[in-house]
A = this chain, B = another copy of it.
Amino acid sequence: MSILVVGSVAFDSIQTPSGSVENCLGGAATHFALAASYFTDVRVIAVVGKDFTEEHEAVFTRRGIDTRGIEHADGLSFHWTGSYVNNLNEAQTLGTDLNVFQTFEPKIPESYKDSEYLFLANIDPVLQGRVRSQMSNVRMVCGDTMNYWIADHAANLAKVLRELDVLLINDGEVRMLAGDRNLVVAANKVLTMGPKTLIVKHGEYGATAFFGDRSFGSGIRAVHPFRAPALPLAEVVDPTGAGDSFAGGFYGYLASQPELTPAVFRAAMFYGGVMGSFAVERFGTERLQDVTREEIDERFKLFKEISHLEYSSS
C-alpha cells in the first residue's frame, strides 16, 4: 500500500569526524522516502527551490518515488548546516536557512488522495494538521516532531498528537513532551495525549515501542513494550537522517504487509533499525540510494542474530 509523506526536502552541509560535505541532498522527507521505497510505494509532498535540479529529482524517481507533490518554488531550497565533530550523538546546528520552506503550503495532488498510510515528518504542526485533515480516510497516521515544536508550539502540536496512530520521537523529546525523566512514566503520559503507539528512538541503543490501550485495533493488545536493538557500528560516517531512515524502514515495512499484527509491528521495528544502520554508513542519502533488498534482508538477519537467544550463528 502507498505511503504519503510530507516533510522537508533540503540541502545539508555537514561536518563529522569522518569529513565534511557541502549541499548534499537531505531533509526528513528525503531520508524517509528513500528508506521506505525498498518496501512499498512512496509519494512525497514538499517544496524545493531552483537549486533542486533534475539530477536531484532522479534520486527519488530512480527509487520509484512519486515526486508529483514536490512543488518547485522561486528561491533556494531549505538549507541546513550542522556539525557532529564534538558529539556524534547530537547535531550542533550551525545554520538553518528556511528559504522556500518559509511560505510552504502543502498541496495534495489528486493522484495522492488514495494513499493508505500517512507520515507527517518533522515540520510545523500547523502544516502537519492541514495535511492530516485532507487525508481523513487513511488507514494509519504516523508522525514525528522535535524539541522546537514541543517547547514553543505546544497547543498546535497537541492537536496533531490527538490525530496520530503512531508518534515516533527520540528519548529527549519524549521526556520533554511529558515533563518526566522516567521513560515509562513519560511514555504513558504521551500515550494519553493521542497516539495509540509511541516509538522512542535511543540512537546507538536502539528503540522502544510503547503500546496504548487502543493499539492494534483488531483486538490484540500488547501490554508490554518492545525493544529493538541498534547495530553496533565501528564507524558512523554521518548520523544525519538516521531517525528519518528508521521511520522509513519501520513504516515502509508496515505498509507492505496485508495485516497489522504485533508480529508485523515487531519486525517493522527491526527494519527501522536496519535502515537507520545503513543511513549512517555514508554521508547524506548516499547509502540509502544504492542499498539492495538482499542487503536489507541480510542485515535484518544480523539484527536477529545479535538480539535473539536461540539464533544460531552461521
Contact = CB atoms under 8 A, between A and B. Distances in A.
Interface of A: 88, 181-185, 187-188, 202, 204-206, 208, 210, 222-229, 232-236, 262-263, 266-267, 270, 302, 304-310, 313
Nearest to A221: B313
A233 B306 CA distance: 23
Given A184-B233, A205-B205, A307-B307, 4 more contacts: A187-B232, A222-B313, A225-B232, A227-B229
A60 to B, nearest CB: 31
18 contacts: A88-B181, A182-B236, A183-B204, A184-B233, A187-B232, A188-B234, A205-B206, A206-B227, A208-B232, A222-B313, A224-B302, A224-B305, A224-B306, A225-B306, A226-B306, A263-B310, A266-B309, A307-B308
A109 to B, nearest CB: 37
A188 to B, nearest CB: 7
A179 to B, nearest CB: 14
For this chain, the copies found in one complex come to 2
Contacts of A206: 205, 227
A120 to B, nearest CB: 26
A88 B313 CA distance: 37
A304 B309 contact: yes
Contacts of A225: 232, 306
Contacts of A306: 224-227
A208 B206 CA distance: 12
A221 B227 CA distance: 26
The 10 A-B residue pairs whose C-beta atoms are closest, nearest first, are A205-B205, A184-B234, A227-B229, A184-B232, A266-B309, A225-B232, A224-B306, A227-B307, A227-B306, A185-B234
Nearest to A304: B309
A182 B234 contact: yes
A218 to B, nearest CB: 14
A181 B233 CA distance: 12
Contact of A235 (B182, B266, B305): B182
Contacts of A228: 307
B309 A263 contact: yes
Contacts of A222: 313
Contacts of A305: 224
A227 B305 CA distance: 9
A211 B152 CA distance: 46
A17 B224 CA distance: 25
A252 B8 CA distance: 52
Contacts of A227: 206, 229, 232, 306-307
A246 to B, nearest CB: 16
Contact of A267 (B184, B266, B267, B309): B309
